[in-house]
Amino acid sequence: MRENLREKNMLKDFLEQYTYHLSDNTAPEKRVYTQPLRNYLDLVYIADISIGTPPQNFKVVFDTGSANLWVPSIYCDSKACANHSVFNPPRSTTFSLEGRPFEITYGTGKIAGFLGYDTVRIGNLVIGSQAFGMSQKEPSIFLEHAVFDGILGLSYPALSVVGTTPVFDNLKKRRLLKEPIFAFYLSTKKENGSVVMFGGLDHSYYKGELKWVPVSQRLYWQISMDSITMNGKILGCKGGCQAIVDTGTAVLVGPTNVVTNIQKAINARPLTGYEYFIGCDAINTYSDIIFTINGVNYPVPAHAYIRQSLKGCCYSNFEGGSEKLSQSELWILGDVFLRLYFTVFDRGNNRIGLAPAV
């Protein structure tokens, strides 16, 4: 068997997937799997994965705000696909066609395509027969210029395409992880150093104890938030609100009317679209904005809520969202928040853990 696999150039992949002796049927060792992420200008964090046999490589965003895995395909005729790596089903010996169409809408655009199954590799984690989407249409200008090829969703399965099992749920279902958790450490202003870890925690990435917050709705990673204040004055979330912890969003997003008031409080002036200009001296002089969650204060200092561009201009990292966010004051805590706080997503206990990042 070993020689046959070697002749077909399949032995390495087989040994990575089955790291134990078949004869004694011992379960594979469960451990913490750490996957490096590349920080692109503090705007998005990219990981390398592969799909198929032999592996076809893709750069993806590990997104806690969605549930599906998708990559561009050779059948896509959009400009976005021409600029990115595309999956070629005939070149994979482990591919099987599911065929059903799918469509996913994001805040920055939508994609459409069809479903298939194949082997997905995230570092040393190997998931056979994983459902994933192959895009045929990516009309969004944002995706055309994106530094990533696709997205790997890590939210609850209720958000996934009907009839499919998301990547993390398969890892959990097949008992490939020591614990049903994953966690993010996001670096600031440097390309390397960011990681996502599956199955356990590396305590060297945070200080103190984790503070746990129960998930309030098992769809997104949604939690209850108490308030948003600055110098003791309430800026938002008066009387409590909801927040989604989202690695796929770069900034802090809230209801437009509330965010407009925050922009005024920090003397940010509107430019075009969603951008607000602010004097760069504010980075060293403005007070922290405090997000209070489950009775615990999480300060966001000015150097985090103000972004300095490569050209030296400074902008607010607060952004007004859709009308849906305004109806019940829903916030999105994106990478601006997550760079400050090591974040654990615990599916076993349906909770999120937060601690100051090192």
Q: How far apart are CA 326 and CA 14, in angstroms?
A: 50
Distances 246 to 63, 91, 113, 118, 230 between C-alpha atoms, Å? 7, 34, 24, 27, 23
- Which burial class, exposed, middle or buried, applies to 326 when counting CB atoms under 10 A from its CB (0-12, 13-18, 19+)? middle
* CA–CA distance, 358 with 341 (Å, rounded to integer): 9
Angle at CA of residue 219, ends 37 and 50, nearest 5°: 35
24 is catalytic: no
Do the strands 341-346 and 181-185 form a parallel or antiparallel pair, or are they unpaired?
Answer: antiparallel
Encoded tokens for 280: 């760069």
Identify the DSSP state of 168: H
- 246 is a catalytic site residue: yes
Length of the chain: 358
User: C-alpha angle 96/347/187, rounded to 5°?
Assistant: 90
Decide: helix, strand or coil at residue 326. Answer: helix
> Is the separation of the CB atoms in 80 and 151 below 8 Å?
no
* Residue of 118, 120, 151, 136 whose CA lies nearest to 81: 136
Question: Do strands 125-137 and 69-72 pair parallel, antiparallel, or not at all (unpaired)?
Answer: parallel
**CB 317 within 8 Å of CB 304:** yes
Please pick, among 13, 42, 149, 246, the residue that the annotation labels catalytic: 246
Residue 130 CB: number of other CB atoms within 10 A?
Answer: 20
Q: Which among 13, 63, 149, 226 is annotated as catalytic?
A: 63
Kindly list the catalytic residues.
Answer: 63, 246
